[in-house]
A and B are shown apart, each in its own frame.
Chain A
């Protein structure tokens, strides 16, 4: 199959998925849940409710409601959220909180990649030695550890215990020190970028970095464990291949064989895992942000659950699903380019 055909086919396959996602969220909020809760809040006057029901077509047959729902979604009307205090359109809230979550996820992912790939290589090249066992157990603990617990424990040790002993410590939460820097004007919404480019405030940048370390490491650990495991197993598989034996028998040094020949091929499955783990990061962000009081989507979603804010949950689910679909799509593309065999699958 040609690359163009492959891309086209993937796009066409993604369309029913997106419609399926829309249908599932509709089904959950309209059929299983109470659709009125999407548009009505505590502050809505009672007299206005019949009007809202009529305007939204909530008295219409389900099929009509489905199409009204889809139309509203495409017009950018995702319901009203009450979680942030005032009644706000869901889409506005999402747009405001999204950069904070993405910033956290990207930093976490970078940490995971930078540490995970070397660890995987070390583990594979020293198979069944002490370093391998330590790395494997480290990775296994990573996938078995509840992320919210890990976050709390990090906070207890690196923030509380260190500050009790008057040692330099990491901040226990928040995105930056509000008391020292006051509010900032988001331009891109990414504090790391805005502080340098638009606010011209290196001190704020440093403060943001310091605030990022703990939540990002906490969020990245699971991904780090997944990448390490994948890297190890694919590296072991590649090392067994004939062309590696050939490269060794040519007299190339171990270093060259591993870093020039094996690594390139072993990276292919790892890239896939990295792409898929990105969706997992956003899930993890729900838990991490709650613990570190990070003003992103995840904390907002948790708060809206506690407030039974259906519109907010619906919007969050949709957004995350879209990110996931796009991430999967990109992974497929990369895989298709890296490994042409997959295009025939």
Chain B
């Protein structure tokens, strides 16, 4: 079970930025800038970060929905970075994605049956009646019925649509599914339902998830390990509960920004100063130093590597483990969360 399913090596995705009279490339957006990731079979990796930090781009690049600028992607120890055409489609059999907006990710003119059945048809798995039966069994797994088979997406509620998207992602029986903020557009009750469904399905189909979200509590609920992204880089990756143990100042800032529904709670959030720097010109050295309250000279000069501080806990900070966020404060957060989530 501890085999690696997905591995990336220094994965980069830059978007060109044009300007001027002749539309020359005058810069690039460093959406994903050197990411090394490992995802084990059967595990759920949560990816968190602010909007625009590159988490969605990372997910799509791993699935080869976007061409990486450089770096390598391995699926099951097979290099899929250069695959094209038929071979790429074969790999896609095993890798699927569920998008953030379920309404937009379903073709409004195609019935649910054909939407879910499309992967089956185009990959030659099943056609006609067989396809229909397979789609029906998938629908029943996500809690919908035969009556829903021949309807159009606009006839469904948000939660139902997201379940349809999940059914479509599972149609080819993949090994790896990227969940790109799957619950951000639904309300809380539906959210919990969907999350539990995902967990059940993971056990049933033996799936590996990459769970992208900006909602820390959701990620904590879903993931086995967690990666924190900042400006196209992973700053911390931990198998532990980040509410209890976070070593990067950015992670702690994120954790402390989560509102706690407890009037007694007295912990103070670390308010990050300033805006996120532009991904067009990321600051040299540590990318977080302009906003970091612990920043020192070395942070400005040198980029901290992602290093293991023990037990598979990776941190990209020169002072990992040496910083004092206030241990009691951290404990208090963790306790409050324990109450509110469980």
Q: Is A197 an interface residue (CB 8 A)?
A: no
Q: Is A9 an interface residue (CB 8 A)?
A: yes
Q: Is B104 an interface residue (CB 8 A)?
A: no
Q: Is B259 an interface residue (CB 8 A)?
A: no
Q: Which residues on the B side are within 8 Å of A8 (C-beta)?
A: 21
Q: Is B20 an interface residue (CB 8 A)?
A: yes
Q: Is B19 an interface residue (CB 8 A)?
A: yes
Q: How far does the alpha carbon of A12 sit from the alpha carbon of B23 in the complex, in Å?
A: 12
Task: Please report which residues of chain B, range 246-267, place their CB below 8 angstroms from some CB of chain A when the two chains form the complex.
Answer: none
Q: Which residues on the B side are within 8 Å of A12 (C-beta)?
A: 21-22
Task: Please report which residues of chain B, range 12-38, place their CB below 8 angstroms from some CB of chain A when the two chains form the complex.
Answer: 19-23
Q: How far does the alpha carbon of A12 sit from the alpha carbon of B24 in the complex, in Å?
A: 14
Q: Is A5 an interface residue (CB 8 A)?
A: yes
* Closest CB in chain B relative to A329 CB, distance in Å: 15
Main secondary structure of the interface of B (DSSP, over half): loop
Interface size on B, residues (CB 8 A): 5
* Closest CB in chain B relative to A345 CB, distance in Å: 11
* Closest CB in chain A relative to B250 CB, distance in Å: 32
Please, what's the 1-or-0 string for A1-28, where 1 marks a CB less than 8 Å from any CB in chain B?
1000100110010000000000000000
Q: How far does the alpha carbon of A158 sit from the alpha carbon of B321 in the complex, in Å?
A: 94
* Closest CB in chain B relative to A7 CB, distance in Å: 9
User: Which chain A residue shows the least CB distance to B23?
Assistant: A9
* Closest CB in chain A relative to B27 CB, distance in Å: 14
User: Which chain A residue shows the least CB distance to B19?
Assistant: A1
Please, what's the 1-or-0 string for A248-274, where 1 marks a CB less than 8 Å from any CB in chain B?
000000000000000000000000000
* Closest CB in chain B relative to A342 CB, distance in Å: 15
Q: How far does the alpha carbon of A8 sit from the alpha carbon of B23 in the complex, in Å?
A: 12
Q: Which residues on the B side are within 8 Å of A1 (C-beta)?
A: 19-20
Q: Which residues on the A side are within 8 Å of B23 (C-beta)?
A: 9
Q: How far does the alpha carbon of A8 sit from the alpha carbon of B20 in the complex, in Å?
A: 9
Q: How far does the alpha carbon of A1 sit from the alpha carbon of B18 in the complex, in Å?
A: 9
* Closest CB in chain B relative to A116 CB, distance in Å: 36
User: Which chain B residue shows the least CB distance to A9?
Assistant: B21
Task: Please report which residues of chain A, range 51-75, place their CB below 8 angstroms from some CB of chain B when the two chains form the complex.
Answer: none
Q: How far does the alpha carbon of A217 sit from the alpha carbon of B229 in the complex, in Å?
A: 66
User: Which chain B residue shows the least CB distance to A1?
Assistant: B19
* Closest CB in chain B relative to A242 CB, distance in Å: 21
The residue in B19, B21, B22 that gathers the most chain A C-beta atoms within 10 A of its C-beta is B21
Q: How far does the alpha carbon of A1 sit from the alpha carbon of B21 in the complex, in Å?
A: 9
Please, what's the 1-or-0 string for B272-288, where 1 marks a CB less than 8 Å from any CB in chain A?
00000000000000000
* Closest CB in chain A relative to B81 CB, distance in Å: 32
* Closest CB in chain A relative to B19 CB, distance in Å: 6
Q: Which residues on the A side are within 8 Å of B22 (C-beta)?
A: 9, 12
Q: How far does the alpha carbon of A324 sit from the alpha carbon of B23 in the complex, in Å?
A: 25
Q: How far does the alpha carbon of A225 sit from the alpha carbon of B21 in the complex, in Å?
A: 37
Q: How far does the alpha carbon of A1 sit from the alpha carbon of B24 in the complex, in Å?
A: 12
* Closest CB in chain A relative to B171 CB, distance in Å: 38
Q: Which residues on the B side are within 8 Å of A5 (C-beta)?
A: 19-21
* Closest CB in chain A relative to B47 CB, distance in Å: 30
Q: How far does the alpha carbon of A9 sit from the alpha carbon of B21 in the complex, in Å?
A: 5
Q: How far does the alpha carbon of A165 sit from the alpha carbon of B20 in the complex, in Å?
A: 67
* Closest CB in chain A relative to B21 CB, distance in Å: 5
* Closest CB in chain B relative to A292 CB, distance in Å: 45
Q: How far does the alpha carbon of A9 sit from the alpha carbon of B20 in the complex, in Å?
A: 8
User: Which chain B residue shows the least CB distance to A11?
Assistant: B21
Q: How far does the alpha carbon of A12 sit from the alpha carbon of B20 in the complex, in Å?
A: 12
* Closest CB in chain A relative to B29 CB, distance in Å: 15
Q: How far does the alpha carbon of A9 sit from the alpha carbon of B22 in the complex, in Å?
A: 7
Please, what's the 1-or-0 string for B51-69, where 1 marks a CB less than 8 Å from any CB in chain A?
0000000000000000000
Q: How far does the alpha carbon of A5 sit from the alpha carbon of B21 in the complex, in Å?
A: 5
* Closest CB in chain B relative to A340 CB, distance in Å: 14
* Closest CB in chain B relative to A272 CB, distance in Å: 23
User: Which chain B residue shows the least CB distance to A344?
Assistant: B19
Q: Which residues on the B side are within 8 Å of A9 (C-beta)?
A: 21-23
Q: Which residues on the A side are within 8 Å of B19 (C-beta)?
A: 1, 5
Q: Which residues on the A side are within 8 Å of B20 (C-beta)?
A: 1, 5
User: Which chain B residue shows the least CB distance to A6?
Assistant: B21
Q: How far does the alpha carbon of A236 sit from the alpha carbon of B295 in the complex, in Å?
A: 53
**Sample of 8 A–B contacts (CB below 8 Å):** A1-B19, A1-B20, A5-B20, A9-B21, A9-B22, A9-B23, A12-B21, A12-B22
Known contacts A9-B22, A12-B22; 9 additional CB pairs below 8 A are A1-B19, A1-B20, A5-B19, A5-B20, A5-B21, A8-B21, A9-B21, A9-B23, A12-B21
Residues of A within 8 A of B (CB): 1, 5, 8-9, 12
Q: Ordered nearest first, which 3 A-B pairs have the shortest CB separation?
A: A8-B21, A9-B21, A5-B21
